[in-house]
Structure 1
Amino acid sequence: MLTITTQDYTIPDPELSALGRSQCNSLRENLVPKITGPNPELEVGLIIVSPMRRTIETALLAFGDLGIPFEAHAGWQENSIQPCDTGSPIPALRKEFPQVNFDHVDPVYPDKTSPAGKKYFNSKQAILARGQEVLRDLKRRKEKAIIVVSHSGFLRAGVTGRWYMNADYRVFDFVDEKEEGEGERVKIREREWTIKEGGLGWSFEEAVELGDGLPDDEASGLN
């Protein structure tokens, strides 16, 4: 799991900067050897991307020539309702990125402020619920390993409790337990080789509590 972020919050659904593209090269050089060859460390069968330009570009720059399918998933979008974290209409993205399958993107995307987009609200309750939903979705899939290209805020506060600097990544396995019911929490465990500062060594080592820093439902103004 990995992320590319932007510093200018006013740019709608921004593209990667030149620095971001350079960081993608570092990601590619580090991770691709681990997922290719006769005995890969990770047998990746699918790449899931947040349907935002910077995450799609990251995925394609790092992994676009490996023959692995790309699928966009609204559940992995970033938390805030700032312009930089609000996506573009899917018809426009289809034209820009024909390599990506957008067929299964939630039709409500990119709405996350109206009642129809409630599951994507920038609130602690919504983001924690979404984190569990996307993990359940991953656990049901048949691929042995999946790369998810998402965003630092959502990954840290909603899914893993770990830090992600630009283009860094971490590797997780599902904790083997009896099949969870819909109300049971999905648990994951990070692999030893990324658990400190990430696969590239660019991220903070300390963990945070899920939900850390997220606005509660009343403070979000979207309940």
Structure 2
Amino acid sequence: MPPKIHLVRHVEGVHNLGRENWNITDPQITEKGKTQCKTLREDFPYHSTVELVVASPLRRTIRTALEGFAPVFEKKKDLKLILNADLQETSDFPCDIGSNVASLRKEFEHSSVSLDFDLVPDNWNRKTGRYDPGREAVSARARAARLWLKARPEKEIVVVAHGGLMHFLTEDWENCCQYEATGWRNAEYRTYEFDAAKIDEDLPLLETSESRLRRGKTGAQPSHEDQISLRLAGLQGWANQGYAVPERTIDGNY
């Protein structure tokens, strides 16, 4: 039985304060972000049933996972925070480029929770090849992350990632331009399940009815066909916002 996935967008980072901060590489979270971590820790209702926490290897997602889901790690003393490079954000703006592995190991060496870097290769922050910001590469690594999650033995998993990447991961494009290149608020969490009845893996994650109601969605979810149209319109909307996802092949050719 595939696991239930609680997807969480990271708390506010310095880059979220204004576009002038997009040139900061791998920015830290803000004071407001620290407060959002506290609120997430207090308000998230599923700490007791979560069996695994996974995060993108950027600082803001690591901090969100460690601080927002501290109760999970406190209950499971031997649990490591798994970092997965496929969950990094889509763009190659400096704010979406992560730190090298050695720097991250040093920064978090005194954390009470061990970090698992097995899925973070040394080239993970170069934004080339697998991690290219083009649509094909982003879609491919998002699909790889979905399949990895689907194969996990745990029954309930928290995934902390990024607003843009989340749309590729879920293939849920509803309201994807509500904010800057995303439909997700900082520190927002939603719950998804794999549709075991579907062989087609282009739309493998469905938001639960409870999760949709939690964020005020009372109507039916968009169909697979509607999501395709929403994706095309959303990507154009992102481009209009200055956050284009280039349309090129994985080898970098347009």
Smaller-chain TM-score range? 0.7 to 0.9
Mark the CA change 1:210 to 1:159 in structure 2 (over 3 Å): closer, same or farther: farther
Q: AA paired with 2:153?
A: K
In the alignment, the residues of structure 1 paired with residue 172 and residue 188 of structure 2 have an alpha-carbon distance, to the nearest angstrom, of 15
Aligned to 1:185: 202
TM-score by length of 2: 0.71
Aligned to 2:104: 93
Among residues 162, 175, 187, which one is paired with 1:167 in the alignment?
187
- 1:191 Cα offset (Å): 1.0
After TM superposition, list the pairs within 5 Å mapping 1:49-198 onto structure 2.
49-67=55-73, 68-98=79-109, 99-112=114-127, 117-162=128-173, 163-177=183-197, 184-185=201-202, 187-196=204-213, 198=215
Counterpart secondary structure, 1:102:
strand
Aligned to 1:34: 46
Number of residues of Structure 1 aligned to a counterpart in Structure 2 = 203
Root-mean-square deviation (CA, aligned residues, Å) is: 2.6
Mark the CA change 1:95 to 1:75 in structure 2 (over 3 Å): closer, same or farther: same
Identity among equivalent pairs (%): 32
Regions of 4+ moved over 6 Å? none
Mark the CA change 1:69 to 1:160 in structure 2 (over 3 Å): closer, same or farther: farther
| Contact 2:51/2:155, CA 8 A, preserved across alignment | yes
Q: AA paired with 1:190?
A: E
Query: Which runs of 5 or more structure 2 residues have no equivalent in the other structure?
Result: 1-6, 74-78, 174-182, 236-244
Query: Which runs of 5 or more structure 1 residues have no equivalent in the other structure?
Result: 37-42
TM-score by length of 1: 0.81
In the alignment, the residues of structure 2 paired with residue 170 and residue 221 of structure 1 have an alpha-carbon distance, to the nearest angstrom, of 33
- 1:157 Cα offset (Å): 4.0
Q: AA paired with 1:216?
A: E
In the alignment, the residues of structure 2 paired with residue 107 and residue 221 of structure 1 have an alpha-carbon distance, to the nearest angstrom, of 19
In the alignment, the residues of structure 2 paired with residue 164 and residue 105 of structure 1 have an alpha-carbon distance, to the nearest angstrom, of 25
